[in-house]
Amino acid sequence: MMPPHGPLRAHRPLGNVRQDERTHPMKEEIKPCAVPRAINWNRLHDEKDLEVWNRLTVNFWLPEKVPLSNDIQSWATLKPEEQQLTIRVFTGLTLLDTIQNAVGAPAMMPDAITPHEEAVLTNIAFMEAVHARSYSSIFSTLCSTKEVDEAFRWSEENPHLQAKARAILQTYAPGANPLKRKIASVFLESFLFYSGFYLPMYWSSRAKLTNTADLIRLIIRDEAVHGYYIGYKFQRAMERLSEAERAELKDYAFGLLFELYEIESRYTEELYDPLGLTEEVKVFLHYNANKALQNLGFESLFPAEAAEVNPAILAALSPDSENHDFFSGSGSSYVIGRAVATEDEDWDF
């Protein structure tokens, strides 16, 4: 475990202005780093930075990779209100990606402890731009310009969508506490997206818009790494705090989650009531809220029975990966791993 000062201070990321220097102008005469330093990936302070960098870069993708036009026929089978709901949901997701791209990830860069963390955040920021761009690819493939323009107007006027965007943006504001910023960021990556992600998984479970679902799964995979990494950095920072400071941040995290959950509930009702799916979506929200808290190192909030997601949705999330339970006698006991994974050069047998 690295000490909070010493070597880390000398290797402070280029864009890093310490939090106390930003919030206390009197300390401005303390210059953060006299010598601009080049990033050396062969000298790591935190192995997790390289691990996550490698994972994110290997997983890089662009929407052109997915044959969205194969969904044109399927799109035509949706009722007009189902089409409108889908466009609105995707517009809401675009807004969150836009925020994380332009504000969230860049806002965390000055808080980076290592130069490598700063570099990982630039990747996260860019991938959020790819995600935001992907929804426009879906729109241009499946929808009319008029429908899409209407949905973007809706996103600017919808009070619940605007409320959640504002709640997150507030924590990203200059001068905000860096750890509260990470909490909000994990909630965005691991919780707020899911009222939206539910719908393409639902369509996929009914064999509709399956190519669109493939694209959304790529986004979900990226967001999972983002939430994991930001949550990990939060946990490392928490270790250096006093008991009282940790308790304060935990209270803040649960308070913010309650606030966001209230907004998400209303957003969910407004969107999904007409299809009768609200209760099922809320269960999915509970499940993802618990996972977001686990990324931060906290215990779950919602009891297991309130977070039991429809198995069809779980299967849409992770196709071909049945939840094996040898203990209760369901699932097969011997399962063949993918050849590619067993061919790792590190195995000696």
Which residues are designated catalytic? 135
Check residue 77 for interaction with another protein (CB under 8 A).
no
Q: How many CB atoms lie within 10 A of CB 272?
A: 21
Q: How many CB atoms lie within 10 A of CB 57?
A: 11
Check residue 73 for interaction with another protein (CB under 8 A).
no
The two three-digit tokens of residue 147, written as one number? 């429908």
Q: What does R_g of the chain's alpha carbons equal in angstroms?
A: 22
Angstrom distances, CA of residue 20 to CA of 8, 24, 27, 275 = 16, 6, 8, 50
CA dihedral over 303, 304, 305, 310, signed as positive or negative: positive
Determine the 3-state secondary structure of 129 from DSSP: helix
Check residue 55 for interaction with another protein (CB under 8 A).
yes
**Residues in binding contact with another protein, number by CB under 8 A:** 54
Check residue 243 for interaction with another protein (CB under 8 A).
no
Residue 344 CB, nearest approach to another protein (Å): 7
The two three-digit tokens of residue 142, written as one number? 């499946």
Nearer to another protein by C-beta: 81 or 322? 322
Query: Is 238:246 a contact under the CB 8 Å cutoff?
Result: yes
Check residue 319 for interaction with another protein (CB under 8 A).
yes
Check residue 2 for interaction with another protein (CB under 8 A).
no
Nearer to another protein by C-beta: 173 or 335? 335
Which residues lie below 8 Å from residue 264, measured CB to CB, with a gap of 6+?
Answer: 160, 164, 191, 192, 195, 285
The two three-digit tokens of residue 138, written as one number? 């879906």
Stretch that binds another protein, among 29-37, 87-95, 163-171, 299-307 (CB under 8 A): 299-307
User: Which residues ranging from 194 to 223 are in contact with another protein (CB under 8 A)?
Assistant: 217-218, 220-221, 223
Stretch that binds another protein, among 11-19, 78-86, 92-100, 228-236 (CB under 8 A): 228-236
Nearer to another protein by C-beta: 176 or 224? 224
Closest CA to 266 of 141, 336, 161: 161
Residue among 67, 255, 303, 311 that touches another protein (CB under 8 A): 303
Residue length of the chain:
349
Check residue 346 for interaction with another protein (CB under 8 A).
yes
Check residue 300 for interaction with another protein (CB under 8 A).
yes
Residue among 232, 261, 267, 272 that touches another protein (CB under 8 A): 232
Check residue 64 for interaction with another protein (CB under 8 A).
no
Angle of helix 115-142 relative to helix 210-238, nearest 10 degrees?
Answer: 160
Which residue shows structure tokens 């006027």?
157
Check residue 310 for interaction with another protein (CB under 8 A).
no
Which residues make up the interface to another protein (CB under 8 A)? Answer: 48, 51, 54-55, 58-59, 61, 217-218, 220-221, 223-224, 228, 231-232, 235-236, 290-291, 294-295, 297, 300, 303-304, 307, 314, 317-321, 323-328, 331, 333-338, 340-342, 344, 346-349
